[in-house]
Amino acid sequence: MHAFVAGHPINHSKSPLIHGTWLKRHGLEGTYRAVDVPPENFEAFIASLKGLTADYVGGNVTIPHKEKAFALADEADETTDYIGAANTLWREDGRLKATNTDTYGFAANLDEKSPGWQSLETAVVYGAGGASRAVIVALLEHGFRSVHVLNRTLEKARVLADRFGPRVEAHQLQALPDVLHGAGLFVNTTSLGLEDKTVPQIDFTRMRPGALVTDIVYVPLKTAFLQQAGVQGVATADGLGMLLHQAVPGFEKWFGVRPVVDLELRQIVETAMGMR
């Protein structure tokens, strides 16, 4: 049994390490390898997966193929339809099926780090790019009453508010102090903090008591958003767990065993990333 992660570029992917650790742990014969698939070859790659002689039982797709993978698969579940992008593919009954496990990964990370997070009621989502969609769906599925989406390009936040219904409201970045007032959860979904881009000063103490600040960026583990919240005495949850947990459903589909995210796995990945 062979599985893949296809992306472009792909050499920094931590997925082979995660799945390789689980394959070893469970004594399985399978492999999980990274495949560099440039955009012009992606359609042919998917066609080969659909072929009867395909080498692979399935795999992950990552940047820049998630939307294309969703569009080219034979079937996707409702959550994935909603998001419009897939990160996990597998063959079942002669069909290529697609799902998006980022929603699961986001929620499972907070379940682990901050049990009870679902009761925080009001969320502020910073950014309206591809990655924000899985987060918004997770918040709606977990009963958030109100989700404020802020984006530099307001139009993109408006598209999400239209798509996801009345509980989701679009705002400009300048609205942050207002929407943070009394909010329960703050999620950064932008690439700010990566590549030394400046992060704005944010007063997280405006949030309600018991509030939580999280970031889907996990390099560095303590992003500039999390650092600010920590200094202000507001609880934080880093994003590495989302990466680890999103891998669970795929591994189970391809190899038939549900693997566990534990401290040992986290330490193996942190070591490989030079975080320890």
Q: Determine whether 113 is an active site residue.
A: no
Q: Which string of b and e fits 223-242 if b means at least 16 CB within 10 Å?
A: bbbbbbbeeeebbbbbbbbb
# residues near ligand ATR by CB under 6 A:
15
Q: From the candidates 14, 50, 66, 197, which is the catalytic residue?
A: 66
Nearer to ligand ATR, 118 or 188 (CB): 188
Closest residue to ligand ATR: CB criterion: 129
The interface mask with ligand ATR, positions 121-150, x = CB under 6 A, is ------xxxxxx------------------
For ligand ATR, the binding residue among 50, 113, 156, 206 (CB under 6 A) is 156
Nearer to ligand ATR, 25 or 158 (CB): 158
Give the residue with the Cβ less far from ligand ATR, 105 or 127: 127
Taking contact as CB under 6 A, which single stretch among the options 47-55, 98-106, 190-198, 228-236 is the one that binds ligand ATR? 190-198
Nearest C-alpha neighbor of 66 from the set 47, 41, 86: 86
CB of 115 to ligand ATR, least distance (A): 27
Instruction: Identify residues 191-210 at the interface with ligand ATR (CB under 6 A).
Output: 191-192, 197
Cβ distance to ligand ATR smaller for residue 18 or 125: 125
Q: Which residues bind ligand ATR (CB under 6 A)?
A: 127-132, 151-153, 156, 189-192, 197
Q: Which residues are catalytic?
A: 66
